[in-house]
A and B are shown apart, each in its own frame.
Chain A
């Protein structure tokens, strides 16, 4: 009995895969904790036996599913892994392998060099091509990533703050507005992206129907590099505003009304009290929110990938989407060794930026200082 691709057999098959995993995780972590506690408490005799025991399952999962892949990624950056050499790297060697060694500093050097420079016969010809077009070089992509992140964060923040300020007044229908504005958050982002993609369709999309009903010429949004970039930024702004609105509204509601009354008595106008009361009081919320948003936006891949695919002419790629296209893109040769090196470079750019930002703003201090 099959309906819509699903039959009883498939269900049973999946369940026999899943249930052992769930039971195994539960029983396994309990057993592990028991043994580990006995060991730490009675053999090692540390006074921190209990917290280490409680942490053990999470630590194991993080090591296995996060640290191990990250370490392996670093190893891959020092390899010559691509589609043609894939068999060499599989545990069961299939077919011939022309590589003399699998990992080496020479591969690593070449991979990292290729991220930045195009070299032939030991001579630097210019910036390295990360994708197929000559324009997809490191500085161009870095610039575009900065523009993407900057535009998104600025619009997220200003629109979110504006809406939060409006909602913080005594107005009717507050609950309704709040639910409606938070809605984009609840919709699966794949659906958001695919739906907006259609709205930018040259003929049937909402934007062009509006333009042509006022007598204008329809614009083919996704065929023009600049307009395609506008489109992806628009969608991501739309997606990110609710987060700020909710966070900032929460912050605004926690500012005591006395502050404003005192300022009013002292003769401050609305603008002065905004700059001297509202913004400083919101600081503990604004800084972590902006920090998280910068990190998320910098790494945001799915919107660009689904809506423009990095195109036209690879001109809406940011660093992370270029990375994805280099590794798994439609016409890629799966140069995984090179892509692994590229991913490490991207991570360190963001990491260095984040360290500078966090230490200078004191942003996320309170999170681990407690």
Chain B
């Protein structure tokens, strides 16, 4: 016990020395804080290797987010700076203003949002009763149907995009957000049923039986007991479908080709195409698009993770 304690003190001392060296180098190199951070980082490695690994990985995880925020705050004059500072010198919200004025940003968001809401709602409505049937009854055809739902996960995107592209063109729904909705609903439903079935399976059937003893019929007990109990799962499914079609790019690129109907992933890709001029606008847009999703995700993350585990894994 004693040796562990003393070795801990030694590593703490070493780590502190490394951080201090970094601080001195910072002063020597005209207050370049890079040196202090490097020193502190090495110090942490010596003192607490576990935390060092986790901190390093967290930095890698978060880095692109910070980077995008930083670029969005840059003044146009030095957009292409090679600086790695998080808050750039002379930070402004110029890019945000320019984004709204020069691009059809609100239109993109509106298109994406309306598509996403329809897909997510239809997915939940249709899957909620279907999954209940899979969970509670053993009917002929149940097993093949479940295996089929599993198989749909293996369909390469191209296998659906090609026929949908042709069908949509034949129905003259190209450049129409309805065409895109049809394509998204196709992929949303199997996954929704999957997750909801997993959740219903964890609700004991005794609950409905008790309700039926009290005079409910099967559907009433589903409506009054199972659905309210499944609110977390229903919201997860809604959220998954939402996230899935909110940022979908490939199908949208094929079906929407006109400028008048674009979703934000398409608009962003175009801004990136003209790299040097629109970097700031792109970054500002990314921040605006990501923050609501991120908040939703962090707020729901406990449900989200348990929902995914239940749906796909738990035996």
Contact = CB atoms under 8 A, between A and B. Distances in A.
A351 B156 CA distance: 10
B125 interface: yes
A288 B162 contact: no
A26 B125 contact: yes
A328 B254 contact: yes
B167 A72 contact: yes
B189 A54 contact: no
A356 interface: no
Chain A interface main SS type: helix
Contacts of B9: none
Interface string B216-230: 001100000000000
Interface stretch (A95-103, A133-141, A189-197, A263-271): A189-197
B262 to A, nearest CB: 9
B130 interface: yes
B166 A89 contact: yes
Interface string B104-138: 11111011001001100110011101101110110
Interface in A276-315: 284-285, 288-289, 292, 295-296, 298-299, 301-302, 305-306
B298 A186 contact: yes
A57 interface: yes
Contact of A204 (B54, B63, B80): B80
B158 A188 contact: no
A127 B285 CA distance: 45
Interface string A24-36: 0110010001000
B256 interface: no
Contacts of A62: 186, 189-190
A18 B181 CA distance: 10
B96 to A, nearest CB: 11
Interface in B277-315: 279, 282, 286, 289-290, 293-294, 297-298, 301, 305, 308-309, 312-313, 315
Interface stretch (B11-19, B20-28, B139-147, B204-212): B139-147
A76 interface: yes
A350 interface: yes
A21 B114 CA distance: 12
Contacts of A206: 63, 67, 84
B160 interface: yes
A305 B157 CA distance: 12
Nearest to A89: B166
Interface in A313-370: 319-320, 323-324, 327-328, 336, 339-340, 342-344, 346-347, 350-351, 354, 364, 366-368, 370
Given A191-B247, A323-B156, A10 B110 contact: yes
Nearest to B55: A177
B203 to A, nearest CB: 13
Contacts of A285: 313
Contact of B126 (A61, A72, A159): A61
A336 B162 CA distance: 7
B50 A169 contact: yes
Contacts of A192: 64
Interface stretch (B39-47, B87-95, B265-273): B265-273
Contacts of B190: 62, 66
A76 B126 contact: no
Residue from B67, B153, B154, B254 with most neighbouring chain A CB atoms (10 Å): B154
Contacts of A323: 156, 158
B53 to A, nearest CB: 6
A185 B293 CA distance: 11
Contact of B54 (A163, A186, A289, A319): A163
Q: How large is the interface on B (under 10, 10 to 19, 20 to 34, 35 or more residues)?
A: 35 or more
B146 A187 contact: no
Nearest to A343: B159
A242 to B, nearest CB: 8
A5 interface: yes
Contacts of B50: 166, 169, 171
B37 interface: no
Contact of B265 (A61, A188, A292): A188
Contacts of B105: 4-5
Interface stretch (A45-53, A104-112, A147-155, A220-228): A45-53
User: Closest 10 CB pairs between A and B?
Assistant: A5-B104, A188-B247, A58-B130, A5-B107, A65-B186, A186-B297, A4-B106, A366-B315, A51-B137, A51-B133
Interface of A: 3-6, 10-11, 14-15, 17-18, 21-22, 25-26, 29, 33, 48, 50-52, 54-55, 57-59, 61-62, 65-66, 69-70, 72-73, 76, 81, 86, 89-91, 159, 162-163, 166-167, 169, 171, 173, 176-177, 179-192, 194-199, 201, 203-204, 206, 209, 238, 242, 246-247, 250, 284-285, 288-289, 292, 295-296, 298-299, 301-302, 305-306, 319-320, 323-324, 327-328, 336, 339-340, 342-344, 346-347, 350-351, 354, 364, 366-368, 370
26 contacts: A6-B106, A10-B110, A17-B177, A50-B137, A55-B130, A65-B189, A73-B163, A159-B57, A163-B53, A171-B50, A171-B51, A187-B293, A188-B246, A188-B290, A195-B68, A246-B305, A292-B153, A298-B156, A301-B157, A320-B157, A327-B161, A327-B165, A336-B162, A351-B151, A366-B315, A367-B146
